Homo-oligomer: A and B are copies of this chain.
Amino acid sequence: MNGAQSLARTLVGCGVEVCFMNPGTSEMHFVATLDAVPELRGVLTLFEGVATGAADGYGRMACRPAATLLHLGPGLGNGLANLHNARRARTPIVNIVGDHATYHKKFDAPLESDIESIARSVSPGFVRWAGAPETVGADAVEAYRAAVGPPGQVATLVLPADVSWEPGGIVPPPPPPPPTPTVDAERVHAVAAALGRGEPSVILLGNGALGPDALASASRVAGATGATLASETFPARVTRGAGVVGVERLAYFGEMVSASLAGVRHLVLVDAQPPVSFFAYPNKPSWLTPEGCEVHLLAGATDDVPGALAALAEELGADRAPAATAPSGRPELPTGELTARSVGAALGALLPDHAIVSDDGTTSSLFAAQQTAGCPPHDWLYLTGGAIGQGPPVAVGAAVACPDRPVVSLQADGAAMYTLQSWWTMARLGLDVTTVLFNNHSYAILNMELQRVGAEGGGTRATDMLDLGRPDIDFCGLARALGLTAWRSTTAEEFGTHLAAALATPGPSLVEIVL
């Protein structure tokens, strides 16, 4: 058994079933193991950012890691932006980067580069060089353990070509399950006391606090104390819809966050960070917690976050109180002008049961979230790290993780152009992904930001850099060229018809919305 085979078998033994890849010559022995180890499924992507984003989407939905397979430093570079998003989502990923044979590196062949420096930026907690076929299996176990945490992370394993091809591979036993996270009773007690004072309070929920049970406990706490619930602006995954506790996200713009926190005396962090402005702006604050507000930590990323919320509800005597869940209800199918609002209403009218929404819609998808609040329960995946182009790959990964669930990809035009190669992988695998493409012919968020930053002299030569027209991009044409069924909608009625058709179409499809 060569090193590559021992690596593949070890990953399978750990429960890793999928490898999203864009391989090159140095990875050919690992690719060849796909026939020897059929329990590991290879998914080809045409660009590394698709592979890494798909691993992120897979990990968020499956709650266990996929592997990636990238080609040396440049391949890792191409995958870096979505690994950055995955780092912010704390998604477990075993990120395998092929490298030259160990003895070949000193020759500085054209593809030689500093993989470690690049990897550290997204894998600060775990970068390991596999040193020998005898030990690459053990390295994979450690990478898997690091990836699953808690907290979850991107764990990078660099795989030299000769470590893959040389014999002597050993498959170690899978690791013990990760330690059971615990509840810190003192923190629970302190938070209960703070909330019990009846002063204005906000409970800020992050990644670990946004599943249905945690939300129900949080709602009971809010009901018992008068505290307000909020979630971080860009969580990795939120379960929402009828029968689930709904929670408002903090706004994107700092001044709106400041307004919503004005007068708050207690901010309780539940696997969340104190809110800060997404970007800095002249004469606007970065730190958004109001002066005089006490910040309390209930639970962090390595704690039992739902357990801490349940214990808090119990301490407050509210653990049997009803949770304030969202009522069932859908908007009517809209008519008339096609706007972000009417698109949202059509989504609310038609979102399938158990849908997964991959949201990379930037300025255009706010209404969609509002209008789907009463739809049957579904999961919403946000852009965690601000690196646009996350949406289509995350949709790929979510669909691979959950083949029985429909995926809706809410996608801005500018952001789509970073990772449109994803559509081809959707077509190859016949994934049930419906892309709603908001075509407003611009980086709309940047037109807002150009004003907000107060830049002097931003005239036509500046705004030209934010304009996606001239030529207009034909997104239906792009989608069809990559194997999707596609429609273009110009009225609300058309969009309702096209969206229904797209959702009913097996395999991937796209509806382009001309705004």
Contact = CB atoms under 8 A, between A and B. Distances in A.
Interface stretch (A9-17, A19-27, A328-336): A19-27
A121 B110 contact: no
Contacts of A292: none
A107 B287 contact: yes
A280 B327 CA distance: 62
Contacts of A483: 471, 473
A315 to B, nearest CB: 31
Contacts of A46: 414, 417-418, 468
A35 interface: yes
Contacts of A477: 477-478, 480-481
A77 B154 CA distance: 16
Nearest to A448: B25
B481 A111 contact: no
A389 B46 CA distance: 11
Interface size class of A (residues with CB under 8 A): 35 or more
Nearest to A276: B107
A114 interface: yes
Interface string A23-37: 111101101111110
Copies in the complex: 2
B113 A32 contact: no
B384 A449 contact: no
A178 interface: no
Contacts of A162: 280, 282
B111 A121 contact: no
A81 to B, nearest CB: 4
A84 B113 contact: yes
Contacts of A457: 32-33, 35-36
A186 interface: no
A418 B47 CA distance: 6
Interface stretch (A96-104, A201-209, A242-250): A96-104
23 contacts: A2-B456, A23-B465, A25-B453, A28-B449, A31-B455, A31-B458, A34-B462, A34-B464, A36-B457, A44-B464, A74-B85, A77-B79, A77-B81, A77-B118, A101-B286, A109-B386, A111-B385, A114-B120, A114-B121, A117-B118, A418-B421, A474-B481, A477-B478
